[in-house]
């Protein structure tokens, strides 16, 4: 790419990044969107809870969004992976895996997170299809089905309350000794939510559609959906490169204006929130783009 200097670089070209790009493109800002084409929801067959696009595939929504953003001639695209970011006197420099370097006044992180799959055979193959993370994105489609939750501790208890609204045939699988209080267990019992502390051996499935949980003690339980809360890490290691502050949960810490603790560095979408939905990512990206444009305007005027 001939041009190496931009008003803003957006790392991540899915919903939040494209939304930020549109906001800045419409403000005539020179923008570079860098993306490697590997979104975290690439296995998910359908995306929901987003008006006008409910039920479309994630890829279809992203393609439509990119087509819209491509209309703005000051927005440019680069297919690649960022391996290093650093602060400069003028803003930031980013380096790709192919050793290309680009400079920018402002940097927006919309690269999302990488889910860390547990060492359970079949889990990764079912992730986003029948092993799901969000009741708002997927819950309606599996309402009243035989459902499980794979989680433990306070998060498992709170998640159980939420899923109980969608199905009464519900089991909480802690995959080992439950880290729940006596009061929490009593409440689960009152609502007839079963508690299973057996260790999971594998997930039996057909092309990502869960059939059964298989346990190390030989027991098998049939399921039609399994919610899971699993750990993650940031796709771009900005905490080490730039000193970007993270929350206790591992999200990039931002204020109400999508600003990080590093001047000129913004973040939006899955990077910053546990509410991992297309609609939320697009809203945050749109707002982040507007704030970046305002900051550039104030500095230039």
Q: Which of 201, 134, 192, 197 is nearest to 163 (CA)?
A: 134
205 and 236 share a domain?
no
The domain boundary residue, chosen from 175, 196, 228: 228
Number of domains the chain contains: 2
261 and 273 share a domain?
yes
146 and 16 share a domain?
no
Per-residue confidence (pLDDT) for residue 55, from 0 to 100:
84
Per-residue confidence (pLDDT) for residue 179, from 0 to 100:
97
131 and 221 share a domain?
yes
- Quote the CA–CA distance of 209 and 37 in Å, as a whole number: 24
238 and 96 share a domain?
yes
224 and 246 share a domain?
no
Two structure tokens written together for 120:
């359970």
pLDDT tens, residue order, the chain (301 aa): 777 999 999 999 999 999 999 999 999 999 999 998 887 777 788 888 888 888 888 889 899 999 999 999 999 999 999 999 999 999 999 999 999 999 999 999 999 999 999 999 999 999 999 999 999 989 999 999 999 999 999 999 999 999 999 999 999 999 999 999 999 999 999 999 999 999 999 999 999 999 999 999 999 999 999 999 899 999 988 888 899 999 999 999 999 999 999 999 999 999 999 888 899 999 999 999 999 999 999 999 9
Two structure tokens written together for 188:
């689960």
What's the domain range around 132?
123-228
185 and 248 share a domain?
no
Output phi, psi for 112, to 5 deg: 75, -170
- Quote the CA–CA distance of 115 and 43 in Å, as a whole number: 13
CATH of the domain at 204: 3.50.50.60
The domain boundary residue, chosen from 228, 257, 281: 228
221 and 172 share a domain?
yes
b/e map of 63-90 (b: 16 or more CB within 10 Å)?
eebbeebeebeebbbbebbbeebebeee
Per-residue confidence (pLDDT) for residue 147, from 0 to 100:
97
What is the SS3 string spanning the chain? CCCCEEEEEEECCCHHHHHHHHHHHCCCCCEEEEECCCCCCCCCCCCCCCCCCCCCCHHHHHHHHHHHHCCCCCEEEEECCEEEEEECCCCEEEEECCCCEEEEEEEEECCCEEECCCCCCCHHHHECCCEECCHHHHHHHHCCCCEEEECCHHHHHHHHHHHHCCCCCEEEECCCCCCCCHHHHHHHHHCCCEEECCCEEEEEEECCEEEEEEECCCCEEECCEEEECCCEEECCCHHHHHCCCECCCCCECCCCCCECCCCCEEECHHHCCCCCCHHHHHHHHHHHHHHHHHHHHHHHC
The domain boundary residue, chosen from 183, 206, 228: 228
Per-residue confidence (pLDDT) for residue 46, from 0 to 100:
85
Contact 29, 51 (CB under 8 A): no
158 and 213 share a domain?
yes
12 and 96 share a domain?
yes
Two structure tokens written together for 246:
């993270």
206 and 266 share a domain?
no
Per-residue confidence (pLDDT) for residue 241, from 0 to 100:
87
111 and 258 share a domain?
yes
């Amino acid at each position: 790419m001939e041009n190496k200097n931009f008003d803003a670089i957006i790392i991540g070209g899915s919903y939040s990044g494209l939304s930020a790009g549109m906001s800045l493109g419409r403000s005539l800002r020179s923008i570079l969107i860098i993306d490697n084409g590997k979104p975290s929801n690439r296995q998910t067959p359908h995306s929901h809870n987003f008006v006008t696009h409910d039920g479309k595939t994630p890829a279809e929504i992203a393609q439509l969004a990119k087509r819209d953003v491509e209309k703005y001639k000051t927005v440019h695209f680069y297919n690649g992976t960022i391996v290093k970011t650093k602060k400069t006197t003028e803003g930031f420099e980013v380096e790709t895996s192919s050793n290309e370097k680009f400079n920018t006044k402002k940097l927006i992180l919309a690269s999302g997170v990488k889910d860390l799959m547990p060492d359970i055979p079949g889990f990764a193959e079912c992730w986003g299809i029948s092993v799901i993370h969000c009741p708002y994105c997927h819950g309606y489609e599996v309402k009243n089905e035989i459902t499980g939750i794979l989680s433990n501790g306070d998060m498992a208890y709170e998640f159980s309350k939420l899923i109980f609204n969608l199905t009464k045939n519900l089991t909480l699988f802690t995959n080992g000794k439950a880290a729940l209080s006596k009061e929490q267990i009593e409440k689960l019992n009152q609502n007839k939510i079963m508690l299973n502390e057996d260790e999971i051996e594998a997930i039996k499935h057909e092309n990502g559609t869960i059939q059964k949980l298989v346990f190390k003690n030989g027991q098998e339980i049939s399921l039609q959906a399994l919610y899971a809360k699993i750990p993650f890490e940031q796709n771009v290691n900005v905490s080490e490169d730039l000193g970007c502050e993270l929350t206790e949960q591992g999200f990039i810490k931002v204020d109400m204006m999508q600003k990080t603790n590093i001047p000129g560095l913004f973040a939006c979408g899955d990077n910053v929130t546990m509410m991992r939905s297309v609609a939320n990512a697009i809203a945050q990206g749109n707002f982040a783009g507007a704030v970046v444009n305002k900051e550039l305007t104030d500095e230039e005027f």
